[in-house]
Amino acid sequence: MKLLIFDNEPIIYTTGAFLKPMKVTDSEGKEIWVWYVSEFNEDSFKEGEIYNPKEFAKSKAELLKDTTANLTK
């Protein structure tokens, strides 16, 4: 995690999510700033269907698990 620098300001809102700035080092070693989703507020969608992934996880596979899968069946 040495390559990530999170910042708390400004916080902006996009439909369904709050965004914050984060400095990362790209694959060429250059520092760039990007927006990251800090909090979901509404449903997310994948291929037109409601798909709400976990906000935090210890692995990429766990992060991608749909938290609403059991609610729709």
pLDDT single digits (tens) 10-64: 788 788 888 898 888 888 888 888 888 888 888 888 888 888 887 778 888 888 8
Tell me the residue length of the chain: 73
For residue 35, list its beta bridge partners.
21
pTM of model > 0.85: no
Residue 70 pLDDT exceeds 70: no
Residue spans per domain, the chain: 1-42, 43-73
What would you report as the CA-atom Rg of the chain, rounded to the nearest whole angstrom? 15
pLDDT at 1: 45
Residue carrying structure tokens 């692995």: 59
Burial class (CB within 10 angstroms; exposed 0-12, middle 13-18, buried 19+) of 47: exposed
